[in-house]
Amino acid sequence: MVPYIIRRLLIAIPVLLGVTIVNFIIINMAPGNPVDMYVDPNTSQELLNLRKEQLGLNDPLWVQFFHWLGNLVKGNLGYSFSTYEPVSKMIVERIGPTFQLTFLALIVGLIIALPIGIISAVKQYSKLDYFATGTSFFGISIPHFFLGLGLIYIFAVQLQILPAGGMSTLGSEDDIFDKVKHLILPVIVLAVGIAGQYVRYVRASLLEVLGQDYLRTARAKGLKEMVITNKHALKNALIPIITIIGLEIPFLLGGAVITEQVFQWPGMGQLTIQSIMSRDYPTLMALNLLTAFMVLFANLFTDILYSFVDPRIKYK
């Protein structure tokens, strides 16, 4: 197992380098630049050029990239072009709220999806199965921003029982119940999409396993259907689900970008939108690098988790 992990980590280095090169080129190909976004229209061209020179924007693209890469090797992610804060400090402040939101949404989504998917598979082609399948398509199809705005209108504007946005009420930053109230709506928005996806995955995976010969043998021996499903079928059916969960974790940030913006949640999703709007190259590069690292780590974590779920899988 240890040699396998070391090999995977060594392979991750050139992959991350390739990702940073592609991201750097795409980000710099976007029209506009940070200086043009934050200057008065009457500012002289000489001052604009001076500011671009100070930020290194007049250098060739390859020079800018190697300058950024050199700072990265030293552990320096640079400074934001819009706020002039260290990028590492900005990410550390935002990463906690994002992981808190996405982790809770993933847990809630799985708690909803697993039992519904199991029941839908066991009761195949029943009215309950059709209802669960139809509801899952609804969860996948409804846009996050539309659902979020709808929930805000119902629970924050009309009923006034939940806050419309933010992470806490001013003056109640240490109140755990206040934070929970602010979490409810954004977690519901993300969890609906997650549950909609995983109901179908669990159902399809379990149906495939339920048709195996060894389960027919278990039924022939007189085992109860609940024991067959929960003890024998579900464990094998979870193997492809683990793959999907592991690969889904980094891409939860994609949904969090919209959800955080709708609910003004101070996480990395909101920071991403702000960085794009302000052409904040150092912050965007750091966010892309972090996302790429999370994808690679999620793949490695999924492979390791396989060996615990199925002892037959060995890595050398």
Tokens representing residue 82 in the block: 């819009």
pLDDT, tens digit, 9 for 90 and up, residues 186-203: 999 999 988 988 888 888
Residue 282 to residue 140: CA distance in whole angstroms: 33
Question: Residue 90's Cα: distance from chain center in Å?
Answer: 18
State yes or no: pLDDT of 217 exceeds 80. Answer: no
**What pLDDT does residue 108 have?**
93
Q: How far apart, in Å, are the Cα atoms of 306 and each of 14, 104, 277?
A: 25, 23, 41
Which of 52-66, 99-113, 221-235 shows the lowest mean pLDDT across its residues?
221-235
Domain 94-268+294-309 has CATH 3.40.50.300: no
pTM of the shown model:
0.81
Give the contacts of 86 (CB within 8 A, at least 6 positions apart).
Answer: 77, 78, 79, 80
User: How much is the mean pLDDT over the chain?
Assistant: 82
Q: 309: closest CA among 202, 250, 256, 237?
A: 237
